Each structure stands twice: as C-alpha cells, then as structure tokens.
Amino acid sequence: MDPLGSRIRRVFSRKSMPETDFASPPFLLVGLGNPGREYRETRHNAGFMVIDRFAEEAGIPLGRVQQKAIIGSGSLGEHKVLLAKPQTYMNLSGQSVSALVRFYKVPLEQLLIVYDDIDLPFGTLRMRPGGSSGGHKGMQSIIDRLGTQDIPRLRIGVGRPRGSKAAANYVLDEFNGREKLDLPYILDRATQAVQDWIRFGLAEAMNRHNLNLLADEP
C-alpha cells in the first residue's frame, strides 16, 4: 500500500499551474505537518494551516507535487515565493525540504520553516534565525539533512497537555473548542508574520510578531 503515491496521483489529476521559472532563488516557505484527512485539524499540522492561509491570501494555488511535497509558486509583491507542504510525514520532513533547497538553490536566509511547538503557550508566535530543534522531530530531520541549525523558523505555540497525557498523543489531537475560536486569528497573524519576513527581513518580523497574541494584546 502506498498512501503517499495515491495522494500524489490525486493531486496530479487536478488542474495545476505551470511551474514558475525562477530567474533567481525564491523565498521558500515550508509548513510542517502530516498528510491525510485524519491529521488535517490536529495541532501538529499548524504549519500546514499557515501555508494554506498564506496561499489563500496571496492567490497561490497549491496543486503540484515535487520533491515529496505539495507546492505552489507565485509572488508577494516583487518577491517570488515557493510554498511547500512535505508529504513524507512529520519525522522525515528533511527529505523533502533538503531536496527543494538544492533544486531551487535557495539560500538558507530565504528559507522559513513553520511548525507547532508544545513548549510555547497556545497563541504564541516565535520567529528566530536558528537554534536547536527543541525536540521537534520534523525540525530535527531538516537540521540533520541540511547539516546546520542556522535555519530560520516560525514556531506556533500549541501549549503542553494537562495531566499525564503524552506529548506525542497531544499534538495528534485536534485543537479544543476554545482554541478553535482563537485559531483563525492566530493563523492570520502568523501569515502576516511570514509576509513581513519576506518584505522586511527576519529582524523586523521578529520585532513585530514575537509575542503571545492572546496575552500581550487587548
């Protein structure tokens, strides 16, 4: 059984846009998550959710498969952008990301990884230029494949489980009822953070968006 292959065949059956011929390396925005309907609304797919929101706002169709990722290409103003959702399952994300980086010759300062983080309170955004994976297996896979920790990333806080529930099970649960009410706002702000990263650079985006959205604002 080849679930990835069957998903790829379904994606190719849809109408897709021609591949953009980038004259220079694009900004590569990668959201991490797990493929499949059963994972779509889970905490571990926060990265996928940001990619989907960015694609919707920028008018970039996500309809092609390349390097084991669903991708879409387009522009944000004068900047060329490539969006990617790796389909390898979370723990092997580095396979897809490293292949895309090599194929498009993307410098690491033009790569941004977006993913969930249980060590940040729900509603917190944290952008940073590099560092360890903090135990996030998808990010660790990317670090291992690219051979460096100097990879810009945006972490979306999902909070830690209460009681004795294992973190691995918690992130594969859907957001709870209260969280679902706040989630659209968080995704909107995360998308704005990514847009500001592209337009103004990492330092300015960090200054504007590194905060707890639910605690630091009225």
Question: What own/partner pairs with CB < 8 Å and gap ≥ 24 does 35-39 have?
Answer: 35/3, 35/4, 35/7, 35/85, 35/87, 35/89, 36/3, 36/7, 39/172
**Residue 44 known to be catalytic:** yes
Distances, alpha carbon 98 to alpha carbons 89, 121, 146, 212, in Å? 15, 29, 6, 31
Rounded CA separation 212/48 (Å): 20
User: Which contiguous run of DSSP H or E holds residue 125?
Assistant: strand 124-128
Distances, alpha carbon 29 to alpha carbons 14, 38, 49, 72, 181, in Å? 22, 24, 12, 10, 26
Rounded CA separation 205/207 (Å): 5
Q: Is 182 helix (H, G, I), strand (E, B) or coil?
A: helix
Read off the amino acid at residue 88: T
- Candidate list 44, 79, 136, 209, residue with the active-site label: 44
Bridge partners, 76 (sequence order):
79
Rounded CA separation 77/69 (Å): 24
Residues tagged active-site: 44
